[in-house]
Amino acid sequence: MKGYLARHAQVLVATLGQFARHPAATAATILMIGVTIALPTGLYVGLHNLERLSHGWHRGDGLTVYLHRGRSDARALAAIRRLPGVRAVRYTSPQKGLAEFERRSGFGKVLTVLRHNPLPGVVTVSLRGASPARLHTLAATLRRLPDVGHVQSNRLWLERLNATLRLGRRLVMILAVLLGLALVLILGNTTRVAVANRADEIEVIRLVGGTDAFIRRPFLYTGALIGAFGALCAWALITLGLAVLSGPVQRLDTLYASHYGLVGLGGGSALRLVLLCAALGWLGARLAVGRRLARGRA
């Protein structure tokens, strides 16, 4: 067991030494794989951030009603309260809405320039037992009220967003599978070239009694290590990308008085990514070297 570990440690060190002797070629391969992996992983991270954002927006299953300006908000409010299925209403007057907007946006001074308050009165309606069908019916009824300007369903909008996000997730998955395949192929090809370059060495190792496992081992280590380094490279690229985006996002956050921020790849996900890419690299190398060793066996 100790000898077994020692042998593997020896191959690991030799492989790293091999990298150090060809730094440019190794770096190019790692970068190529890093970019390949960064693509689906970056999309995944972006999608994840969007999902977080949409969770923040999930403010119940209500309807938002924008009233006509310059009519009686009180009459409209009373009409809405009388409708069946309405559980509670919350009214935001144009004055209150403006105050809120000034406070949040920091555009206070600019708005004093406007002579009239441009905002309508807003009523947030929550429902008793909000099935999508009831939501639809109520929205239609509300739209027919004379003082109501515009009705917006929070829930339908969210469902549309969620459906889009689901599609996005599926696309990321397809992309990840394709680029995972690309990773296997890239490392398979790199390994094939490396094996061809070392044909003499492989022949001699065989002649003096080296097993196929012994011949394979350095190639497998190379594949797995390049895969792992590629994943680390992708992680670095994504972290860099997030750092570049974090400034604008922070500004958005202050504008909306929110605190979403951006989340990158967590430690656990990064580790899983490294392990997965190491496994794919190993697989690519294994396929390539296995094909080569199957030839010329006595």
Partner 1 sequence: MIECQHVFKRYPGGNEALSDVSFMLEAGEMAFLTGHSGAGKSTLLKLISLIERPTRGQIIVNNHNLGRLPPRRTPRFRRQIGVVFQDNKLLNDRTVFDNVALPLVVAGVTGDEIRKRVQAALDKVGLLARARSHPLMLSGGEQQRVGIARAIAHRPSLLIADEPTGNLDAAMSDEIIDLFRDFNDHGVTVLIATHDWRHIARCQKRVIELGAGHLVTAA
Q: Which residues bind partner 1 (CB under 8 A)?
A: 3, 6-7, 200-201, 203-212, 214, 297-298
Minimum CB separation of residue 212 from partner 1 in Å reads 8
CB of 175 to partner 1, least distance (A): 41
Residue 152 or 211 with smaller CB distance to partner 1: 211
Least gap, CB of 12 to partner 1 (angstroms): 15
**Cβ-based nearer residue to partner 1, 51 or 212:** 212
Least distance in angstroms from the C-beta of 274 to partner 1? 30
Cβ nearer to partner 1, comparing 123 with 195: 195
Which CB sits closer to partner 1, 6 or 173?
6
Nearest to 195, CA basis, from 224, 223, 168, 170: 223
Q: How far is the CB of 7 from partner 1 (least distance, A)?
A: 7
For partner 1, the closer of residues 14 and 99 by Cβ is 14
